[in-house]
């Protein structure tokens, strides 16, 4: 498949003789990089270099010292990362000790653009938000860089390599590695990041360009490499970051402890083993819904994806027609899917309304009253339990409302709502490994239009619950079908080649285990965790371990970009300064170019 040309023109300065050298030529000459850009020339850097043989010798000495320092297994890697793929402007500073593998999140903040007037993301408003917020965020992030003089891991560990590579020029001056250089931030000497990380795509082109251009400027100003990474790859790898931070990530646990801001973010209980390749990823966000088999850092194959709208988009748009107007107006942002969930499962659910002359037919009313009564009783019981929390009451409602189907036949049957309507499951008559949410979207909008004037608060809450149930059960249904129809995806089969027995006849300890990573903004939904966990157990896969990042790391953030860039950096990858934003960028090379199929990747020959 031919590679698409870069659509953003490159402005190349006039080259005044031997005083200019291109970044690619310098890297190839001194550090052994090889370009994957199919012969596309790299523009020269916008800064002059010293002329003559002395400059060439100096550059070679600097590059040699850089390579020696970068490959030093005892030093700590440091990066500043930027994320601007949609409406969140995010910056992070991440460090990682190569010797221990432990990471510290020194800074992690994001600012969302205000799109409430549009009740959805307006790209022009989001771009203005990026332009206004990115500079101040970067400035605050720089203040959290480690002090160079106080932290030998960032400075002194490279001094020997730099000194060994120091070369005396023809003028008698001495050149040292950039690895020993520091930044002056507010009068304090700070450690220089080893590279700058940024999201290249997929996303909104204009929004991506803001972050990418700032990242390029920092990389050039600091004379360090650029790592422009894949947004969905970053979501998929986030649990590996969470493990390196020492935080818990078992899905359904309390995930509200992620640090927002700077400080040592190695808090929380020790997590279980980091998700090792291969593993399955369920990526659920406002722009994507994908079940992905991750075989390695850059090898991700799509098992199932949506052919229409993403689940996050479904929840945001159906929330607009389900939620009462005052609830919508009170939302602090346009993440209406989150508001829909809070409305569907409030901390203290109201009792079911008494029967009246406008009550639904009796079979439905009995079902609605039963479900609401169970939810209210469960919530009250949880609240009365010593040490109970808000989450306990909500979890009790989840348990009372959703009981997993034990067979495919039960799964596709209509679920009574207590009203003269149901929200059917998509693809009920097909085992096709794909997602589709347009039918739920159309059905809910039609119900809201027909019954809107007559819907009271109780019916709106019921519609919210059944919309969430249908969407999440659809995710779980396709996951089960994938494990049943494609057992080669994961080692979920025992020695006899049969599925693990349900929990009723086998203990989890006796069943094979594997990992399902749930990532993306919707991954923070606890009702989704309940639906996935109970469905897998009921359908014969109790050994699957569900892991999800903390809430602050589920939504778009720069920490996941920093971690992905760090893994790519250690694997020997760098990004060319000519790299352009990519709006649509499938991870799977069988349906697109894949992560490494696009122009702009450089490979460090020493690390290949």
* pLDDT (tens digit per residue) in 480-495: 999 999 877 766 333 2
Contacts of 196 (CB under 8 A, 6+ apart): 79, 80, 81, 82, 215, 218, 219, 222, 224, 225, 226, 227
* Within-domain flag for 379: no
Highest mean pLDDT of the ranges 66-80, 219-233, 291-305? 219-233
Domains identified in the chain, total number: 2
Confidence bin at 523 (pLDDT 50/70/90): very high
d(CA 465, CA 447): 14
Answer yes or no: do 203 and 289 share one domain.
no
Domain that holds residue 85: 17-224+572-604
Q: How many CB atoms lie within 10 A of CB 411?
A: 20
Contacts of 448 (CB under 8 A, 6+ apart): 321, 322, 455, 463
Q: What percent of the chain clears pLDDT 70, i.e. is strictly above it?
A: 66
Answer yes or no: do 70 and 170 share one domain.
yes
Answer yes or no: do 543 and 577 share one domain.
no
- 137 touches 91 (CB < 8 A): yes
* Within-domain flag for 37: yes
d(CA 312, CA 504): 34
Highest mean pLDDT of the ranges 166-175, 275-284, 520-529? 520-529
Answer yes or no: do 427 and 513 share one domain.
yes
Answer yes or no: do 200 and 303 share one domain.
no
Confidence bin at 278 (pLDDT 50/70/90): confident
Answer yes or no: do 581 and 487 share one domain.
no
CATH number of the domain encompassing residue 125: 3.30.420.40
* Within-domain flag for 378: no
Does residue 505 register a pLDDT over 60? no
Average pLDDT of 141-163?
A: 64
Count how many residues are written for the chain: 608
- What pLDDT was estimated at residue 42? 37
Answer yes or no: do 301 and 430 share one domain.
yes
- 540 touches 502 (CB < 8 A): yes
How wide is the angle at C-alpha 316 spanned by C-alphas 200 and 247, nearest 5°? 60
Joined tokens for residue 441: 């979207």
**For residue 394, what is the DSSP state?**
H
- What pLDDT was estimated at residue 253? 43
Closest among 568, 551, 555, 553 to 96, alpha carbons compared: 568
Joined tokens for residue 12: 């190349």
* Within-domain flag for 589: yes
d(CA 471, CA 465): 10
Answer yes or no: do 593 and 517 share one domain.
no
- What pLDDT was estimated at residue 116? 83
Answer yes or no: do 453 and 341 share one domain.
yes
* Within-domain flag for 30: yes
Give the H/E segment covering residue 188: strand 188-191
Answer yes or no: do 581 and 543 share one domain.
no
* Within-domain flag for 104: yes
Answer yes or no: do 421 and 545 share one domain.
yes
* Within-domain flag for 244: no
Closest among 118, 108, 113 to 133, alpha carbons compared: 113
Does residue 148 register a pLDDT over 50? yes
* Within-domain flag for 381: no
Answer yes or no: do 320 and 358 share one domain.
yes
């Amino acid at each position: 498949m031919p590679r698409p040309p870069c659509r953003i023109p490159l402005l190349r300065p006039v080259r005044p003789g031997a005083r200019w050298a291109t970044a690619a030529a310098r890297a190839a000459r001194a550090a052994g990089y090889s370009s994957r850009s199919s012969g596309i020339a790299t523009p020269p850097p916008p800064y002059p270099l010293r002329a003559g043989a002395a400059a060439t010798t100096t550059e070679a000495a600097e590059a040699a010292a850089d390579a020696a320092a970068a490959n030093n297994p005892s030093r700590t890697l440091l990066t500043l990362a930027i994320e601007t793929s949609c409406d969140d402007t995010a910056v992070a500073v991440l460090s990682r000790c190569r010797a221990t593998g432990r990471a510290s999140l020194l800074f992690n903040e994001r600012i969302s653009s205000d799109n409430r007037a549009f009740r959805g993301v307006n790209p022009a408003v989001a771009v203005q938000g990026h332009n206004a917020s990115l500079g101040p965020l970067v400035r605050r992030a720089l203040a959290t860089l480690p002090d160079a003089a106080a932290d030998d891991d960032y400075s002194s560990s490279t001094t020997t390599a730099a000194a060994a590579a120091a070369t005396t020029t023809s003028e008698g001056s001495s050149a040292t590695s950039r690895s020993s250089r520091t930044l002056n931030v507010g009068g304090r000497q700070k450690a220089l990041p080893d590279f700058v990380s940024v999201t290249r795509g997929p996303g909104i082109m204009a929004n991506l360009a803001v972050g990418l251009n700032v990242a390029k400027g920092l990389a050039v100003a600091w004379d360090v490499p650029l790592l422009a990474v894949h947004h969905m790859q970053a979501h998929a790898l986030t649990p590996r970051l969470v493990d390196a931070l020492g935080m818990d990530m078992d899905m359904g646990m309390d995930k509200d402890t992620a640090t927002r801001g700077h400080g040592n973010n190695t808090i929380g209980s020790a997590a279980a083993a980091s998700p090792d390749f291969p593993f399955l990823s369920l990526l659920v966000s406002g722009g994507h819904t994908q079940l992905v088999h991750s075989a390695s850092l850059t090898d991700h194959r799509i098992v199932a994806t949506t052919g229409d709208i993403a689940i996050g988009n479904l929840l945001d748009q159906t929330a607009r027609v389900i939620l009462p107007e005052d609830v919508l107006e009170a939302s602090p942002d346009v993440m209406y899917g989150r508001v829909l969930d809070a409305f569907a499962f409030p901390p203290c659910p109201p009792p079911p309304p008494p029967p009246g002359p406008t009550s639904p037919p009796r079979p439905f009313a009995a079902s609605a009253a039963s479900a609401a009564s169970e939810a209210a009783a469960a919530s009250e019981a949880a609240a009365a339990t010593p040490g109970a929390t808000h989450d306990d009451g909500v979890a009790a409602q989840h348990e009372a409302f959703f009981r997993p189907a034990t067979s495919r036949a039960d799964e596709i049957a209509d679920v009574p709502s207590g009203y003269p309507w149901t929200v059917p499951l998509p693809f009920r008559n097909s085992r096709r490994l794909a997602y589709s949410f347009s039918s739920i979207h159309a059905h809910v909008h039609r119900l809201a239009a027909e019954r809107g004037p007559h819907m009271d608060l109780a019916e709106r809450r019921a519609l919210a619950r059944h919309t969430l149930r249908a969407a999440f059960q659809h995710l779980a249904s396709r996951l089960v079908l994938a494990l049943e129809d494609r057992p080669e995806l994961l080692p979920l089969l025992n020695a006899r080649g049969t599925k693990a027995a349900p929990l009723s006849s086998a203990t989890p300890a006796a069943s094979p285990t594997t990992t399902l990573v749930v990532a993306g903004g919707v991954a923070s939904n606890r009702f989704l965790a309940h639906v996935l966990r109970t469905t897998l157990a009921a359908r014969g896969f109790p050994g699957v371990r569900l892991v999800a990042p903390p809430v602050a790391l589920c939504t778009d953030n720069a920490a996941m970009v920093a971690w992905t860039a760090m893994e790519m950096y250690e694997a020997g990858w760098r990004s060319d300064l000519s790299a352009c934003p990519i709006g649509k960028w499938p991870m799977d090379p069988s349906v697109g170019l894949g992560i490494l199929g696009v122009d702009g990747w450089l490979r460090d020959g020493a690390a290949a």
